[in-house]
């Protein structure tokens, strides 16, 4: 084979260069077209988690609200307006007492049928609780519906009902508590950690006012929850271990429902959850409706006495802005 001449080599180099340049141009055109089609548009179209929430990062003042010197935390959330009208120490870690039970109810509503029949275990027997601990009066071997248990849980704040619900829905208290903490994390209630379903004091059982808002706000998506907290009373039908059927009547523990506190002027109280222990103080979370049926969530935590709790809650609700 004859060797290629110098001129031939030069011609090959020039041709190769032109082909290379031409190929790069086509490659760039293809890449540009792909990017235009696939990247020059909004990829993420889902709503952000906080789009429908009241978001706050610091204390917010509102004229007419109570003196906060005797409180641990307080807040007023405008649900339709998606804004926080008032907040005080809403991210401070606190003991929740029986306000815990709103998360107990939420986990039950999400994971079981209200018509399910529950058999009460020895652990949930009212006799196992201290005399100063609130119970609904259920006993080992009793049978009643999950719906009845939830009414006693939220209206009368029965610690025995809380245990019966946990054992039925979760299989055990430990597993149910894990379900509660998982649910709190899913709601971004990151300042919450619970160790029981009833709120009896434990140093590792805590939450924040803002986390309670997140949990309560989620509960309000369930009509059954709203029906329960707004009820004047509930009569449960309980079948004892011996087959005898008895009726138990449970009524709300909050003073607005019992008539022990004067109702606010600016809104109608729908219902909510109380909580009291020596360590937590007196706590209350409520749903109320203002002008034009606009819903609000109000929270007061750590009041020194029940009298102060309802005085402060009334002031907070009455401070709802007139223009809604």
- Under a CB-based contact definition with an 8 Å cutoff, are residues 157 and 98 in contact? yes
The pair of three-digit structure tokens given for residue 316, joined into one six-digit string: 């907070």
Do 91 and 191 contact (CB within 8 A), yes or no? yes
Give the per-residue pLDDT at 65: 82
pLDDT in tens, 172-204: 999 999 999 999 999 999 999 999 999 999 999
pLDDT score for 42: 39
pLDDT digits (tens, 9 = 90+) for 25-40: 454 554 445 444 544 4
Reduce the DSSP state of residue 232 to 3 states and report it.
coil
Per-residue pLDDT reduced to its tens digit, 72-107? 999 999 999 999 999 999 999 999 999 999 999 999
**Of 67 and 256, the one with more pLDDT:** 256
Tell me which of 234 and 290 has the higher pLDDT: 234
| pLDDT for residue 292 is more than 90 | no
pLDDT band at 50 (very low <50, low <70, confident <90, very high): low
pLDDT tens digit sequence for 212-234 = 999 999 999 999 999 999 999 99
Residue pLDDT, tens place only, 271-285: 999 999 999 999 999
Residue 299: which H helix or E strand, with range?
A: strand 295-303
* Cα separation, 272 vs 274, whole angstroms: 7
Radius of gyration of the chain (CA): 30
8 Å CB contact between 120 and 64: no
Evaluate if pTM is beyond 0.85: no
* 319 Cβ contact list (under 8 Å, min separation 6): 62, 63, 64, 65, 76, 85, 86, 266
Do 139 and 120 form a contact (C-beta atoms < 8 A)?
yes
- Note the pLDDT tens digit of each residue in 102-134: 999 999 999 999 999 999 999 999 999 999 999
Q: What is the DSSP string of 78-129?
A: ETTTTEEEEEESTTS-B--GGGGHHHHHHHHHHHS-TT-EEEPPGGG-GGGS
pLDDT averaged over every residue in the chain: 88
157 — phi, psi (to 5°)? 60, 40
What the block records as the tokens of 194 is 């619970």
Residue 34 has a pLDDT of 46
| Residue 31 confidence (pLDDT) | 44
**Highest CATH level, class, for 49-318:** alpha beta
């Amino acid at each position: 084979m004859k060797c290629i001449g110098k001129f031939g080599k030069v011609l090959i180099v020039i041709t190769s260069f032109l082909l290379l340049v031409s190929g790069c141009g086509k490659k760039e055109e293809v890449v540009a077209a792909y990017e235009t089609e696939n990247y020059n548009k909004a990829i993420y179209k889902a709503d952000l988690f906080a789009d429908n929430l009241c978001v706050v990062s610091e204390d917010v003042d509102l004229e007419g609200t109570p003196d906060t010197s005797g409180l641990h935390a307080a807040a007023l959330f405008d649900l339709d307006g998606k804004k926080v009208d008032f907040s005080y120490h809403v991210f401070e870690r606190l003991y929740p007492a029986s306000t815990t039970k709103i998360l107990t109810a939420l986990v039950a509503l999400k994971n079981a049928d209200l018509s399910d029949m529950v058999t009460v275990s020895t652990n949930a027997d009212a006799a196992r609780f201290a005399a100063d601990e609130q119970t609904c009066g259920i006993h080992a071997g009793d049978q009643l519906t999950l719906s009845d248990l939830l009414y006693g849980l939220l209206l009368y704040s029965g610690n025995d009902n809380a245990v019966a619900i946990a054992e039925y829905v979760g299989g055990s208290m430990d597993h149910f508590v894990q379900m509660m903490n998982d649910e709190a994390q899913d709601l971004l209630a990151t300042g919450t950690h619970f160790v029981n379903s009833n709120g009896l004091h434990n140093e590792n059982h805590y939450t924040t006012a803002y986390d309670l808002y997140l949990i309560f706000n989620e509960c309000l998506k369930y009509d059954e929850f709203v029906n329960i907290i707004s009820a004047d009373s509930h009569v449960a039908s309980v079948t004892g271990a011996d087959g005898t059927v008895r009726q138990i009547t449970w009524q709300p523990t909050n003073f607005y429902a019992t008539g022990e506190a004067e109702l606010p002027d600016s809104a109608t109280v729908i219902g909510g959850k109380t909580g009291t222990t020596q360590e937590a103080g007196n706590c209350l979370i409520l749903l109320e409706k203002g002008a034009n049926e606009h819903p609000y969530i109000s929270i007061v935590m750590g009041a020194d006495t029940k009298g102060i709790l309802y005085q402060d809650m009334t002031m907070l609700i009455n401070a709802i802005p007139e223009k809604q």
